[in-house]
Chain A
Amino acid sequence: MTAVETHQAPRKAKEHGPERTVRDEPPGWLVRLRRQKLASYVILVVFAVLYIGPLLMLVTTAFKTLPEFFQNPTGMPESLRFENFTEAWNEAQFARYLVNSVVYTTVATAVCVVTSVLVAFPIARGYLKGGRYILLLYVIALFLPPALIPQFQLILNLGLFNTRAGYILLFLVNPIGIIILVNYIKAIPRELDESAAIDGCGYYRFVFKIIVPLIRPAIATVTVLHAIGLWNELVLAIIYLTNDDLYPVTRGLIAFEGLYGANWPPMAAAVLILMTPMVVLFLFLQRYIVSGLTAGAVKG
């Protein structure tokens, strides 16, 4: 209670001048409201500690020497040493892992998004016989059994095991993305198609020059969702890539953990190096991520 009042009183003074600073008895409803807000804050702060705590531990550890860490794991580091970061960067091939991750993510996401638009557009418009059934097939797939084992047999027999191409091949389709795109395209007026056809604008050009710019928010959502899932993929990287040179960052991080074991300071530095760009990107792309995750979730 007092915390809230002392926090608000000086603000009032600034806004309304000295005559309104003292309010002897706030009305009952205001007291209740403030009490409720205080309770909300208490709960939120308790949870925030649970969310920040692990991150704080990571940051402090990344700046410690190993003896310092063993003596006092939870304390603050004595000085800001960046040696752990350089050590992590040099010892593991993080530069290469990053390049791999970037290659896998951009190539697979680009192919996935372009092909998805070309699937979604004619389905949304009804330009195909049986388009409705194709859409149904994409919806049903979300409930089919996991494809893990036959997929592995397929890649193995194509001779693509432990290759970049084979790994990328695993990430070229995204049924949820198709569904998001179809729903979005349905809202674009169909008169556009007619005018374009009359003006002699070809189908391919129409889709990429006119439809794509119009559905940019949906494309951004699908791109971001697909790219994040792919970037974070660990299991398929463990299954399909055995060569250290081909590892994406997730797999590289786990390999680094295997080598460094209990040597947490460089380990924490490595995690921090790989996490920071994700967090920064997230702060910028939050809107698309959230809209992708909640797409269709609340319409009933």
Chain B
Amino acid sequence: MRESPTGGNPGIPHTTTVIHRSYLFARGWRSATPVLLLLPGFLLYLVMAVGPSLATAVYSFTDATGIRGIAINWIGFENYDEFLLRGAASRDNIAALRRTVYFCLFVTVIQFGIGLLFAVLLNQKIRGKKFFRTLFFMPVILGVAIQGLIWKLFLLPRGGPAAEFFQLFGWTSELLGGQPRQAFAWVIVVQIWANAGITMVIFLAGMQTIPNELYEAARIDGAGKWQLFRNVTWPLLTPAVNTNLLLNIIGSLQAWQLFLVLIGYRPGTQVLGYLVFAEGFGQTSGSVASAFRQGYAAAASIALFILVLVFALVTHAWLSRREKRYIG
């Protein structure tokens, strides 16, 4: 470190040298260089991410198709009107919206619980800790295609391991091919299997920031295991709890890709994210004309976005109130 102007004078607190930008750039660096080098990345970001993101709102007011060369017309709130208010399709859409919320609730609650359970169990001094951590985290990196196919095989309706297991209790089921409700429930299971590892590692990272002395002090005061968790771990885990809740809620509201791999676009199982994809990119089973309705799909994705935003804001507000209560 360079000598500060005050030298070694003990009376005046030692301060780090402040480097002025003008100084630095007058000496060797041309001031335009950082800007020029930043531009490619930043422009890419504006053009490929921010711009399209904002343009989604604009497209939602048009009748855009996914076919090149067809004129795009402004049609106002037509798409929203049709999406939410008109006819049988809108009833299906509302059902999909409700289903998205159910999916989110089940996945968030169960994944949060399982992730916390894994973290608590694997934060102990226990043999095979590393093995279990690796095992529970591994599905995360496989991606939806592999995750989905693995479970499709496991959930084979005739003679598959899951079917055999349920047969022991005299329960036969087509599993993924069964009633929409059953298929939906299995997607929830796979979604949690695939992502509980993330929740676990975030909790584990949070637990590792809790100083050991706190536990020792509490133990000397006679606290049992449950009290240690309730009064030390849980309150100090607040940042990890917040992160996990928000990540799980936002993630599960937007998740739909396992539906694609596991059951396809089946009536009675679609969630909003899948609807956007199906309408926008022609994956509905309908005619070509009804497919590729990108304006309509944009309106649906704005609806999904608003749902995510509302859930995230409400959760965030609730979490910060809870945090204040803990800190006092």
Contacts and interface: CB of A to CB of B under 8 A. Distances in A.
B40 A115 contact: yes
B136 A297 contact: no
A298 B205 contact: yes
B141 to A, nearest CB: 5
B21 A156 contact: no
A145 B142 contact: no
Interface stretch (A17-25, A214-222, A231-239): A231-239
Given A54-B153, A157-B68, A73 B160 contact: yes
A253 interface: yes
B260 interface: yes
A73 B162 CA distance: 11
B261 interface: yes
A257 B138 contact: no
A126 B21 contact: yes
Contacts of B2: 191, 194
B143 A149 contact: no
Interface string A276-297: 0011001100100110011001
Contacts of B21: 126-127
Interface of B is mostly: helix
Contact of B17 (A47, A72, A191): A191
Interface string B38-62: 1011101101111111111111000
A123 B254 CA distance: 31
A84 B154 CA distance: 18
A10 interface: no
Given A73-B156, A118-B38, A298 B239 contact: yes
B139 interface: yes
Contact of B1 (A57, A119, A141, A191): A191
B243 interface: yes
A157 to B, nearest CB: 7
A299 B261 CA distance: 36
Nearest to A281: B141
A121 to B, nearest CB: 8
B80 interface: no
B27 A148 contact: no
Nearest to A253: B145
A118 B251 CA distance: 29
Q: Interface size class for chain B?
A: 35 or more
Interface stretch (B83-91, B97-105, B168-176, B293-301): B293-301
Contacts of B240: 297-298
Nearest to A114: B41
A162 to B, nearest CB: 12
Interface in B126-146: 126, 128, 132, 134-146
26 contacts: A40-B121, A43-B117, A57-B150, A58-B150, A118-B40, A119-B38, A119-B45, A128-B35, A144-B53, A145-B301, A146-B254, A148-B276, A149-B294, A149-B297, A151-B52, A173-B41, A194-B2, A199-B28, A238-B281, A254-B145, A257-B149, A279-B138, A289-B141, A290-B201, A297-B205, A298-B239
Given A150-B58, A232-B141, 14 more contacts: A54-B193, A57-B160, A73-B159, A74-B160, A118-B40, A119-B38, A145-B54, A146-B56, A149-B297, A150-B298, A196-B28, A228-B141, A283-B134, A297-B239
Interface of B: 1-2, 17, 19, 21, 23-25, 27-30, 33-35, 37-38, 40-42, 44-45, 47-59, 64, 66, 68, 114, 117-118, 121-122, 124, 126, 128, 132, 134-146, 149-151, 153-154, 156, 158-161, 164, 193, 198, 201-202, 205-206, 209, 225, 238-240, 242-243, 254, 257, 260-261, 276-277, 280-281, 294, 297-298, 301-302, 304-305, 309, 312
Q: Top 8 A-B pairs ranked by shortest CB distance?
A: A232-B143, A115-B41, A147-B52, A150-B55, A300-B239, A150-B52, A197-B28, A145-B305
Interface of A: 36-37, 40-41, 43-44, 47-48, 50-55, 57-58, 61, 70, 72-74, 115-116, 118-119, 121-123, 126-128, 134, 137-138, 141, 143-154, 156-157, 161, 169-170, 172-173, 175, 189-191, 193-194, 196-204, 207, 228, 231-235, 238-239, 249-251, 253-254, 257, 264, 267-268, 271, 274-275, 278-279, 282-283, 286, 289-290, 293-294, 297-300
